[in-house]
């Protein structure tokens, strides 16, 4: 497949996946500028398109367009903008504890925080300024980033230096790696373009391609309380595995919208969000109930709030608490 055709298709699909379609109408600044110019102060920072959310113990941190980073310490009711050293589109954020967190985005930017997201510094701008789509750390030192066209790096020093990581091979080496995550036993998974998924049992030293049985792009994944691995993707796809990715089963969702993110809640529930205002709720491996939000906005991320039972979502209209199921 020609790279130019895949680029056009990939960018359109990725726009849906990150919920940042509102940004497409505005011309993008050169990445050499957005990677070095700090984000502007915005009065309504929590209402710009936001693409990722993470928990830093009792704080919530969301990232998104224009280098925007917002933080809440009251369960997602009030958000304050944090100073960010870049104005590039930030696509993902991850914390390993109440202090140490990382954010990544377009232009190969990798940011770090050691105060729970209150302040950030630029750790690295990767060579060739790739589009980074995912960041995941196992602890304060060992972490990974993945992105468009098979880009993958890992670090063993908290993000101060990065080493290329080979994931796919042959034609598979050029596909987008949309989301890297780990499960409780330490196994790493990557959800990728065109139904690709990969697994590593040696902390990223080697990767095995998984047969998912689907052809559309997979946007993200997470682990259920019982140890099932879940992958989410285009056309309302939810596939699950009870054997660490050796076999997969499709679950009915009742929607054809792209599904972009999911979590398990403190009471054993499951919440999945996606494009077109889609929210799916369920319990464990039970059936998923479809809701369509009245605003129909593209949702990119979901996270449990520090308070019991609270959930926060992010998308093209910013970040807000999710209304509980009726």
3-state secondary structure at position 123: strand
pLDDT of residue 18: 47
Q: How far apart are CA 291 and CA 273, in angstroms?
A: 10
- Lookup result for tokens 């995941």: 136
For residue 21, pLDDT beyond 80: no
3-state secondary structure at position 142: coil
Average pLDDT, the chain: 91
Q: How far apart are CA 277 and CA 22, in angstroms?
A: 15
Residues 257-271, mean pLDDT to the nearest whole number: 95
Structure-block tokens of residue 81 = 């903008």
Of the ranges 4-8, 38-42, 105-109, 273-277, which one carries the lowest mean pLDDT score? Answer: 4-8
Reference 110, options 82, 130, 140; nearest CA is: 130
Q: Which residues contact 30 (CB under 8 A, 6 or more apart)?
A: none
Reference 20, options 92, 85, 70; nearest CA is: 92
pLDDT of residue 97: 98
The string of pLDDT tens digits covering residues 57-71 is 999 999 999 999 999
Specify the long-range contacts of residues 193-197, CB closer than 8 Å, at least 24 apart: 193/10, 193/13, 193/217, 193/218, 195/233, 196/168, 196/172, 197/221, 197/231, 197/245
Fold exhibited by the domain 3-21+45-321: Methylamine Dehydrogenase; Chain H (2.130.10)
The string of pLDDT tens digits covering residues 206-242 is 999 999 999 999 999 999 999 999 999 999 999 999 9
Q: Which residues pair with 290 in a beta bridge?
A: 280
Sign of CA dihedral 36, 41, 42, 48: positive
Sign of CA dihedral 271, 272, 274, 277: negative
Q: How much is the pTM? A: 0.92
> Is residue 42 within 8 Å of 136, Cβ to Cβ?
no
Q: What percentage of the chain exceeds 90 in pLDDT?
A: 85
The string of pLDDT tens digits covering residues 137-186 is 999 999 999 999 999 999 999 999 999 999 999 999 999 999 999 999 99
């Amino acid at each position: 497949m020609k790279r130019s055709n895949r680029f056009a298709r990939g960018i359109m699909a990725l726009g849906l996946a990150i919920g940042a379609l509102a940004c497409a109408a505005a011309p993008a600044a050169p990445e050499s500028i957005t990677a070095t110019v700090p984000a502007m102060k915005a009065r309504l920072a929590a209402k710009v398109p936001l693409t990722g959310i993470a928990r830093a113990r009792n704080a919530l941190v969301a990232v998104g367009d224009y280098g925007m980073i917002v933080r809440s310490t009251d369960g997602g009711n009030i958000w304050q903008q944090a100073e960010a050293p870049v104005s590039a589109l930030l696509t993902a954020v991850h914390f390993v504890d109440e202090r140490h967190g990382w954010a990544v985005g377009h232009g190969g930017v990798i940011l770090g925080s050691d105060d729970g997201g209150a302040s950030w510094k630029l750790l690295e701008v990767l060579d060739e300024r790739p589009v980074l789509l995912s960041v995941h750390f196992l602890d304060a030192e060992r972490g990974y980033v993945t992105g468009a066209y098979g880009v993958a790096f890992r670090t063993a020093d908290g993000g101060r230096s990065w080493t290329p990581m080979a994931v796919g091979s042959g034609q598979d080496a050029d596909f987008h790696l949309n989301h890297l995550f780990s499960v409780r036993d330490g196994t790493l998974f990557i959800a990728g373009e065109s139904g690709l998924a990969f697994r590593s049992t040696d902390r990223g030293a080697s990767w095995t391609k998984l047969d998912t049985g689907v052809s559309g792009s997979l946007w993200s994944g997470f682990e259920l309380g019982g140890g099932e691995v879940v992958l989410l993707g285009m056309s309302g796809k939810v596939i699950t595995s009870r054997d660490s990715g050796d076999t997969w089963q499709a679950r009915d969702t009742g929607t054809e919208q792209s599904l972009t993110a999911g979590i398990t809640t403190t009471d054993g529930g499951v919440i999945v969000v996606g494009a077109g205002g889609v929210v799916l709720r369920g319990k464990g491996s039970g059936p998923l109930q479809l809701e369509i939000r009245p605003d129909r906005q593209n949702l990119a991320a979901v996270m449990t709030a520090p308070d019991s039972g609270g959930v926060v979502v992010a998308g093209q209209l910013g970040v807000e608490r999710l209304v509980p199921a009726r």
